[in-house]
Amino acid sequence: NAGVTQTPKFRVLKTGQSMTLLCAQDMNHEYMYWYRQDPGMGLRLIHYSVGEGTTAKGEVPDGYNVSRLKKQNFLLGLESAAPSQTSVYFCASKKGPLRQYFGPGTRLTVT
Amino acid sequence: EDKVVQSPLSLVVHEGDTVTLNCSYEVTNFRSLLWYKQEKKAPTFLFMLTSSGIEKKSGRLSSILDKKELFSILNITATQTGDSAVYLCAVEDSNYQLIWGAGTKLIIKP
């Protein structure tokens, strides 16, 4: 099992550009999450999904959109990137009451 | 508003010392409390606690939960330089969402 994978690992964007981060898991997990982590801070939930075709807002959803068309994939989109979105993005997945498994992270810089 | 508070925010000790990290919480519809270790990459899972008073142990690390006083502690005995990391505490609510603390940065000096 590859576990949770994220693509890309690094990206530099100019203000106003768009991009999509891909999260994939091969563990048949129902729940998937997108977090951002800024220096010296814990993780903040952007959006999450409790199953294929469903998504919901987390703590900091503004400026992001998500889609879960397939159970194994959870996409995070930035339509018009801003410097405030410079961060490390982590995807996670879980099955029922069990713990979350994390991807390796994507380091995004917006100039 | 749900919140998780960790203390101290940072801690510097010498190799061989014992450390205690604290996590207090105010979360509606508590389901579980989790501890993760983060070393400049993705968090790695340490413990999940759901019941009060039952210690979970893994090698030199142990943790316990007090659901009455709404806190948990993570103990590390005989610390090693490899224990240097940020330790994150998170509380899961009934919607399977995690509320994260800011973390405790632990530095172990040789």
Q: Report the 10 Å Cβ neighbour count for A66.
A: 23
Give the model's confidence band at A37: pLDDT under 50 very low, under 70 low, under 90 confident, else very high: very high
Query: From the CA atom positions of chain B, what is the Rg in Å?
Result: 13
Contacts of A55 (CB under 8 A, 6+ apart): A47, A48, A49, A66, A67, A68
Average pLDDT on B18-47 reads: 95
Average pLDDT on A40-66 reads: 93
Binary contact (B34, A45; C-beta < 8 A): no
pLDDT at A1 over 90: no
The 10s digit of each residue's pLDDT in B61-97 is: 999 999 999 999 999 999 999 999 999 999 999 888 8
- Report chain B residues whose CB lies below 8 A from the CB of A98: 48
The 10s digit of each residue's pLDDT in B40-58 is: 889 999 999 998 889 999 9
- Report chain B residues whose CB lies below 8 A from the CB of A94: 96
